[in-house]
Structure 1
C-alpha cells in the first residue's frame, strides 16, 4: 500500500500537480490546502488577505477527484470565506481532502477540528480554524486494518514556535487517531504540521509510540525551491510500527507545490 501526504498549495502549480497525482495514483492521498468553490465554474480565483495575494485553483477538490477517478474522494472544510473573480466575491470553502482507492474498503472515519471550529462566514482571524480527517481501511494484501489520520496544523503569524494552541492541537490529533484505530491496526499520522522538528507537537506524538520518518530517515527538508522563506520543515509522517515500512521518501522532483510529497509504502 502506498500512502502520500501533500500540501497542495491551493493548486498554484496545477499544471504539474494533476498529471503527477494521476500518474502516481497513490492508494491513499492525504491532501491539505484544498479549495472547493461549488458556486463557481472558474478555473482560477484569487485569495486576498491584506498584502498576501495568491492565485487559487477554484475547484482543486474537483480537479483532483477527476485526476483520480478510481478513488473515493472526501472533502473536509475548515472554513468558508470568499475568493475573488476580479471585483466579484465568490464563496469558497477551504480545507483538506482524503482520497482512497476503491479497492480498499473504508471501515471507519473520523473528522473534526484540532483548532477552533468551522468558520461559516469568513476564514476568520489568525490563527485560523484547522481540521483533521482520518480513515480506517482494510488492506487485503497485508490482511490488516490501517488507520491514517492527517491534519493541516495552524499557521501562527509569529512563526513555528511551540504555543499552547499547538500543544492542544497535537493532543486533539492524537485523540482523533486513537478514537479511529483498533488495537491491532497499523497507525499512521501525517500532515503539514507547520512546526519545526524539535517541536512539542512531535514530542507528544513520539511519546505515544509513533516514529517520525522524515527526520528519522535523514531528510533535511520537506520544502523545495518554490518556498522562499527560512525554515525547511513543515510536513511529517509518523507510524507506530517502523518494521512495517517498506520504503519512505520525500519527493523534491518534480515540484508540484511549495511542499514536497511524502510517500510511504507499507
Structure 2
C-alpha cells in the first residue's frame, strides 16, 4: 500500500506538481493533499496558488475517488479574496479500495472569520477508514496551525495534538497519520503524537528536511526551518519504504510511504 502526503502549495509549482501526481497515479493507493483550493474561478490567489486546483487534481487522478475537506471560505491563508474560494485538504483514494467511512474534524481555530484573528483560522484533520487484506485502517492527514511561525509549542498547538491523539485512541485497527503539522521535531506537540503509540517515521528514517529551495528562498538563511511535515504509523503497520525525496513540486517535500 502506497501513500503520498504533500502540502501542494495550492498548485503554485503547477507543471512539476501535476507531472509528479501523474507519474505516481498508477502506483499510489492514496494521495493526502493539503493546501487545496476549490473555486469556479481560474484565478490565482494573492500568493500565486491556483483557485481551481482541486478540479485539476480530479482530472489528473481519474482512477482515484476524491474527498474534499473544506476549512474556510474566501480566504487564501493571507488575504480575503473577492471571488468564491474554498480552502481545505483532500484525500484521493484508488477506486478499487472500499472506503468504509470518511470525514474531518476541527483541530485548531474557531471564531473565524468574525473575530478577524489569524490564530482563529480553522484547521482540520481529514480521515478515511477502510479494510485491506483483512485489516482495518484509519488514514488521516492534517494541516496544522501555522501561527506562530516559529513552529514551537503554544497552548493552541498542544490542544491540537491532544485532539489528534484522542481521535487516534478512539479509532479501531491500525492508524496512519501524516501531513503538514507546522511543528519542529523537538516540540512537546510532536512527542504527544509519539506517546499516543505512533512511530515517527521522520525520526526513524533520519529525514533531515521536509522543505526545499522554494521554501528556503522565502526566508533569510537565519530564519530557515527544515521541518514541517511528518508521517506516523501505529505499531501494527509494516513499513517497506519511507522517503522525503528532494524535488521542487511545492515548497514542501512529498512524503512517500509504502506499507506492508
TM-score of the pair, normalised by structure 1: 0.87
Q: Which ranges in structure 1 are unaligned for 5 or more consecutive residues?
A: 48-53
Q: CA deviation at 1:91?
A: 1.7
Distance 1:105 1:117 in 2: 33
Secondary structure of 1:226's aligned partner: helix
Distance 1:132 1:213 in 2: 19
1:51-106 Cα offsets, whole Å, 9 max, x none, are: xxx012111111111110011101111100156xxxx8212110111111111110
1:200 maps onto 2:179 in alignment: no
Distance 2:239 2:194 in 1: 17
Cα RMSD (Å): 1.9
Give the corresponding residue for 2:144. 153
In structure 2, relative to structure 1, the CA distance for the partners of 1:209 and 1:75 (3 Å cut) is same
Secondary structure of 1:72's aligned partner: strand
Distance 2:116 2:105 in 1: 17
Q: Which ranges in structure 2 are unaligned for 5 or more consecutive residues?
A: none
In structure 2, relative to structure 1, the CA distance for the partners of 1:207 and 1:56 (3 Å cut) is same
Secondary structure of 1:6's aligned partner: strand
Distance 1:105 1:98 in 2: 14
Secondary structure of 2:213's aligned partner: coil
Q: CA deviation at 1:147?
A: 1.1
Secondary structure of 2:18's aligned partner: helix
Give the corresponding residue for 1:249. 243
Check conservation: 2:169, 2:196, Cα contact below 8 A: no
Q: CA deviation at 1:250?
A: 0.6
Distance 2:257 2:82 in 1: 39
Give the corresponding residue for 2:53. 60
State the number of aligned residues: 246
Give the corresponding residue for 1:261. 254
1:36 maps onto 2:54 in alignment: no
TM-score of the pair, normalised by structure 2: 0.89
Give the corresponding residue for 2:99. 106
Q: CA deviation at 1:161?
A: 1.1
Q: CA deviation at 1:265?
A: 0.5
In structure 2, relative to structure 1, the CA distance for the partners of 1:262 and 1:134 (3 Å cut) is same
Give the corresponding residue for 2:231. 237
1:35-66 Cα offsets, whole Å, 9 max, x none, are: 0113x2x2x3232xxxxxx0121111111111
Distance 1:97 1:136 in 2: 14
TM alignment of 1:78-157, pairs within 5 A = 78-82=71-75, 89-117=82-110, 119=112, 124-127=116-119, 128-139=121-132, 142-157=133-148
Secondary structure of 2:142's aligned partner: strand
Check conservation: 2:103, 2:126, Cα contact below 8 A: yes
Secondary structure of 1:151's aligned partner: strand
1:211 maps onto 2:199 in alignment: yes
Secondary structure of 1:96's aligned partner: strand
1:166 maps onto 2:157 in alignment: yes
Q: CA deviation at 1:241?
A: 2.0
The structure 1 segments of at least 4 consecutive aligned residues displaced by more than 6 Å after TM superposition are none
1:116-136 Cα offsets, whole Å, 9 max, x none, are: 2484x5895222210111111
